[in-house]
Chains A and B, each alone.
Chain A
Amino acid sequence: MHESMEILEQPALSAPLFRCRGLGYQYPNGPQALDHIDLDIAAGDRLALVGQNGSGKTTLIKLLCGLLSPAAGQLLYNGRPLEGDHLERNRLKIGLLFQDPDDQLFGHTLIEDVAFGPRNQGLNAERAETVARQALMKVSLAEKAYQEPHHLSFGQKKRAALAGLLAMQPDVLLLDEPTANLDPNQEQVFLDLLQNFKGTLICISHDLIFLYELCDRAVVLDCGRIQHDYTVRHLVAQPSALRSHGLDFSFRLVVTADSDSAPSTSAPSCAPLAPNPAAQPDLVDLRQFSYRYPDGTLALDGIDLTMVEGERIAMVGENGAGKTTLLACLLGLRQGHGQFHFRGKPVTRGQRHGLWRQVGLVFQDCADQLFCPTVAEEVSFGLHQLGLPDAEIDRRLVQSLERVHLSGFEQRVPLHMSGGERKRLALACVLAMQPRLLILDEPTAGLDPQGEELLLSILKDLEGTLLIVSHDMFFVRELTCRTIVLHQGRILEDMPTHSFLQDRRLGNLNGLAYSFRQRGSDAIRLLQHEHEYLHEHHHVHGHPHAAADQDHPHAHGHVHRHRYFHSHPGQEQPHEHAPRRIHPQEMHDHGDDAEKP
């Protein structure tokens, strides 16, 4: 039904900036990353490159900036093959923003790094420094010009990396996951910066709401091939097409931080926990707990926090609020001051080293906790540390892999698995140890929508006490009943999650304001219920004729867009458009048809 839209929405390209014909690439001893790519990109295009992890998106942008050479086919830039001198000349006009800013900030100081590109463009030191300062000013980092990159926060690093590209005044910007691991405030800053960029923009992201705000055109890659090429509006409007490529993020549209909509029907049951007749002690009890770094910085101050067994809690706060430090204390990695009881027993300096038996953590970057050569060894690692017998280890191995949908992966190499699989493996490693308290640090970081949805379903099925540290308000809402707001090392609020989500004040304070997400989600929700559709049909109405100076109604055929409003009876189920067709006059752009009889 929707195939016809692709014909309509493909941009008319007179002289494409990039022209790919039969483009292919295969990594040495690796799979075919790209296969027969035909793609034209015009100057000024704002193109979203989407697809599941491993679909070939990063390979394609590396080809587009000349870091890789095509193994097959042809890649033209401004009408000439992107190779040799043409590549050397034009590489400086094509900026590539890497996902991890540390890969890109190799300079000794920020200004030196930003000036690196302009110096390579032939500018002298003074001129390059001036250009670099201007670029840093654009990203609001002028006051950090002489700071070393490793002293910056992640968001600042990301903006500094972008400044390094903007200083080169590129014609094309290639962006690989520009908002990955950014908090919503930083996302908004980044969105504003990119929206102000006037050149051609090609952006890889799993965040379709962000792409909806930024891009006009969407190219869907799947297994190294282009599956669709149409507008972002059409991409996001079709949940079924999104689903078929593992990109369906519609489950996220239910809620945003400021949403006034009804609570999600799939949110956890938040009935008060039944009082324990045996007066079982709290799982975690912190009283006037504080932590000070060796350099004297006070990271946590006067924390009073109680967690009851079975609770599902979210911890939110801006970057630097003290969330990670508090987690480290809960895990026994850091020793704070004040009272800390775990299951009624005081956690002293000596006992904190035993907390790992009862508290499990899934790291934000799961690569930090995966280091074994096989999946089986990875899961068994913690079980061996627990001193369990082999039979029990085998049983838990099978059970935990099954819970995270990784059965049969036992002999796979974790390093070679996709981001979503690795995240689930990290979860399996922790689940196998059967912790009383499971902590997830930014569980959705780096996952594609399919991976997110799968993780969400797994987490929903988990029993036990759950603590989620996240900027992702959707996951917070779907998985937790109570939210703790951390701000500058203190607990600012401890409230029911639904109350927190409706509290605009807290959202703004903690960098969780979701203005563009709210706007984007609302628009996409509307689009998904408003299909635009192209077909040829006949009308009876009047319009001026050039041949005769008169206006009269008559039937004629032409092709134009119709808009249908309807409700969906269910995913993939048939539904009827015709009875409620809306035919606004302003959509009848007759153009050349005016001459038709």
Chain B
Amino acid sequence: MTDITIIHKPLWQLFKIFVPAVALLWAAAAWLRRRAYQRSTPGEEPDWSIPPLPQAGAVSLLHRWDVRVKIITILSYSFMIAALRHPAPAVAAIIVSLLVVAVAKTPPAKVLLRLLAISGFLGMFLVVMPLSIPDRSGDTVLIFNGWSWLGFNLRGLQLAATIAAKAVAITLLMEPLIATAPLPVTLYGLARLGAPDLIGQMVLLSYRYLHVFRHEARRMSAGMQVRGFRKRSNLQTLRAVANFLGMLFVRSFERTERVFDAMRARGHRGRFPEPAPLHLRGTDLILMAAWLAVGVMLISYDRFGY
């Protein structure tokens, strides 16, 4: 512990460091949210009589890529990113991911929304980890106002930043993975790779009915609000919330039974029809090899570049 460098700072320095950083993050998140919603709101009603993702004349390399190879490549590459240990390769991974987003031509608004979804979690990481990581030899710790329990470890900050960068790099790839083929095709590809059929069907139906259940939950919540329900820290609130969740579960369960009946009535025998035939081409494999090579280079840079 003797090798730890301790730097004493007055308390106001803490605010000087944190307040602008938090304000910047908050402003960025708010801007991202507004921008993402604005971008995701269509100005005009699209022409729904034609497929929004024209598989025949695909709009990008990733749209044309065989879905099975795409899944294997992006998931393998994501694991490689997760294995990075240093911030510089992690930042390089973000650059690669941004490149992929550009090539895939996925809507930036959707990508921003995904980043927004993880921003809270990452923000917490950036704040908590420097304050909670155990001090090691060689660490630099900032102590504010002489409060030794409030040690801000810079190694913790670097670690949190690395994790955040990796998370951003992987999250950026999710839109090119999921949005460059219709969900049923992606899930069909997953099934062809050996994932149980049932999982794919459950994901597909969950995606469809998530909106229905969300609307039901909203209406029920409004029904409680108009009778004066407000969340408080008391037993009454707990009972009301338990009743609400119970009723939501019952309604969801009943709907599940009705949906299953509707599927059986239209000839469903436990398997969805194949959404589209899959064709593996040589270029698909070349693209996979090239991409995975980038991943190997990043890992090499991470392991041997320092």
Contact = CB atoms under 8 A, between A and B. Distances in A.
Contact of A91 (B228, B240, B265, B276): B265
A119 B273 CA distance: 6
Contact of B258 (A94, A103, A125, A144): A103
B247 A371 contact: yes
Contacts of A361: 226
B250 A415 contact: yes
30 contacts: A65-B265, A102-B255, A103-B258, A103-B259, A103-B262, A106-B205, A107-B208, A108-B204, A109-B182, A120-B269, A121-B267, A125-B273, A128-B273, A143-B48, A143-B49, A144-B48, A168-B266, A296-B38, A331-B226, A333-B225, A333-B226, A367-B251, A369-B227, A371-B244, A372-B243, A381-B227, A382-B228, A385-B229, A415-B247, A433-B228
B15 interface: no
Interface string B250-271: 1100010011011111111100
Contacts of A367: 251
A150 interface: yes
Interface string A408-448: 00000001000000000000011001000000000000000
Q: What's the dominant secondary structure at chain B's contact region?
A: helix
Contacts of B107: none
Nearest to A373: B243
B232 to A, nearest CB: 10
6 tightest A-B contacts by CB?
A: A120-B267, A385-B228, A369-B223, A119-B273, A382-B227, A147-B48
**Residue of B51, B183, B212, B228 with highest tally of chain A CB at under 10 A:** B228
Interface string A311-335: 0000000000000000010010100
B113 to A, nearest CB: 13
B228 A365 contact: no
A45 interface: no
Nearest to B187: A108
A65 B262 CA distance: 11
A522 to B, nearest CB: 37
Contacts of A67: 261, 264-265
A150 B41 CA distance: 16
Nearest to B221: A368
A119 B227 CA distance: 48
Interface string A148-169: 1110000000000000110010
Contacts of A117: 266-267
Given A67-B265, A385-B227, A385-B229, A108 B183 contact: yes
Given A91-B265, A356-B225, A367-B251, A112 B275 contact: yes
B251 A98 contact: no
A65 B41 CA distance: 42
Interface in B121-137: none
B274 interface: yes
A340 B130 CA distance: 50
Interface in B114-167: none
Contacts of A144: 48-49
